[in-house]
Amino acid sequence: MLPISDSSSPESQSLKIPKTPDLLKRKNSFSSIQPYLSLHHPRTWFIVVVLSLQIFLLLMARSGPASVSHRRSHFPAPTYVAAAPSTDGDSQCGSGKVYVYDLPPIFNTELLQNCSELNPWVSRCEAFSNGGFGPKATGYAGIVPENLTHAWYWTDQFASEIIYHNRIMNYRCRTTKPESATAFYIPFYGGLALGKYLWRNYSAKDRDRHCEMMLRWVQNQPFWNRSNGWDHFTTMGRITWDFRRSNDDDWGSRCIYLPGMRNITRLLIERNQWDYFDVGVPYPTGFHPWTDSDVLTWQDFVRTRKRNTLYCFAGATRGFIKNDFRGVLLSQCYNESGSCRIVNCGGSKCANGSSAILETFLDSNFCLQPRGDSFTRRSIFDCMVAGSIPVFFWKRTAYYQYEWFLPGEPESYSVFIDRNAVENGTSIRGELEKIGKEEVRLMREKVIEYIPKIVYAKPNEGLVGIRDAFDVAMDGVLSRIKEQEGGYKW
């Protein structure tokens, strides 16, 4: 593990605390007034009167209301409009409350303001608009109920940092009193900050800079020292491996390997199953219900939907991967065209969803979910939101990732077929046809039951009577921190 660089930079200079005067200067200042401190000197009484008046004014000032703002003037406050935080007696906050750090904008809102610079090829401004939900989806007429078209967006899979930040600023269990907080949220857009430097000729230092600066700032806050960070958490909007660079020549940043990040709980769309502080949260899908009624209407729609295809696959081969498993799945699908429906996602045709993908999932009983470029893929949640039953080939694709959000019994909502068996000739169609109609109905019902827990509601305040993925994540974080009061029990 490499140490954090102590070299000075413009960014680090702006985050340092000014040093106190040295002792020598203090001694010289005292000796310069020493001749005047005799009680027989007329100026002595003048000095006593002035000092007494200053002490009196200081005591009066301290008796007034204390300022709660300690922001540096060159970091203006974020422009979020937040609902009033909960009162101390709020019975809905049994696991405690969250204090949200007012990070300097360089770590979040300035990244969004410069959204055209986040990608070397295309502007990301539209993708991250609408509070992270992206532009309204089009082309869904006749595919989804007319009264639900408003709830569909072209949401980017890497938008969770923005979505969580907007929600937590309006969270019912947010507090503005850090001394009463159970947990401390760091609204750092680490994924956006990193994404800008992943391509072209940027250095490892460039990719690490924002995370190093953020940790220096957070570690300088008084409530960090209360626990050395074990009651702090953040959202990182990419997969965990993007933040686990071992060597300077490798991909990504070393943010998670930095010493200050060790005890911070991290909400990620893909976790390292061997790291307690990594928590897997659902990829954002395109469905963002506005009301409880939207959720119930959608659940009824997918429950009664007539499905004409046994199974489907939305994806493309990975030509750069030797013995690519997706190629095996596509081959079986093409050979079983009467039972399998394919959406070819070559290039970027399926980026952030498409009407063709949703329609295919709605029309199929099962959806094939091989690993993506990493072990997980957003398609898992697109498939389940459509009421289709996922078929997995790696247990790490979902079972070891999203324990807070998916049923504890994998067989109750999904099918697992060992990838080695498929590569050796096992028929996917044959395996799925062994499952009886009643069992399929029960599995689909379990998928539909869990839809609220894997979607992010549109209102910043959340839904009224239904807990969505954000609520589940907050409950989980607060519960685990509450259980570990006094520090993580290794």
Closest listed residue to residue 295, CA positions, set 434, 139, 466, 172? 466
Around Cβ 469, how many Cβ atoms within 10 Å?
Answer: 26
Amino acid identity, position 332 = Q
Instruction: Let me know how long the chain is.
Output: 490
**Phi, psi for residue 295 in degrees, rounded to 5:** -65, -50
pLDDT by 10s per residue, the chain, length 490: 333 333 334 343 334 333 333 333 333 333 333 444 444 545 555 555 445 555 544 444 333 333 333 333 232 333 344 445 544 446 789 999 999 999 999 999 999 999 999 988 899 999 999 999 999 999 999 999 999 999 999 999 999 999 999 999 999 999 999 999 999 999 999 999 999 899 888 999 999 999 999 999 999 999 998 889 999 999 999 999 999 999 998 999 999 999 999 999 999 999 999 999 999 999 999 999 999 999 999 999 999 999 999 999 998 887 666 678 999 999 999 999 899 999 988 766 676 567 899 999 999 999 999 998 899 999 999 999 999 999 999 999 999 999 999 999 999 999 999 999 999 999 999 999 999 999 999 999 999 999 999 999 999 999 999 999 999 999 999 999 988 775 555 4
Residue position matching structure tokens 């957070």: 218
**Phi, psi for residue 184 in degrees, rounded to 5:** -125, 125
Task: Provide the pLDDT for residue 54.
Answer: 53
The domains found in the chain, sorted by start residue, are 98-284+469-486 (no CATH), 292-454 (3.40.50)
- CB-based contacts of 186, cutoff 8 Å, min separation 6: 101, 103, 214, 218, 232, 233, 234, 264
Amino acid identity, position 132 = G
Do 379 and 372 contact (CB within 8 A), yes or no? yes
Instruction: Using alpha carbons only, give the angle 167, 467, 485 rounded to the nearest 5 degrees.
Output: 75
C-alpha to C-alpha distance for 98 and 438, rounded to whole angstroms: 44
DSSP class of 348: T
Do 310 and 340 contact (CB within 8 A), yes or no? yes
Q: At CB < 8 A and 24+ separation, what contacts does 229-232 make?
A: 229/260, 229/262, 229/263, 229/264, 230/263, 230/481, 230/484, 230/487, 230/488, 231/182, 231/183, 231/184, 231/481, 232/183, 232/184, 232/185, 232/186, 232/263, 232/264, 232/265
Beta bridge partners of 342: 313
Alpha helices in 202-267 (DSSP H): 204-219
Per-position DSSP letters for 31-89, written without gaps between them: HHHGGGG-TTSHHHHHHHHHHHHHHHHHHHHHTSPPP-----TTSPPP----PPPPPTT
Residue position matching structure tokens 């949200």: 100
- Please give the radius of gyration of the chain, using alpha carbons only, rounded to the nearest integer: 28
Amino acid identity, position 95 = S
Alpha helices in 285-436 (DSSP H): 292-304, 325-335, 355-362, 379-385, 419-423, 428-433
The structure's pTM equals 0.81
Q: Which two tokens stand for residue 431?
A: 């395996």
Could you give the angle at which helices 437-449 and 292-304 cross, rounded to 10 degrees? Answer: 170
Question: What order of strands is seen across the sheet that includes strand 309-315?
Answer: 340-344, 309-315, 364-369, 389-392, 415-416
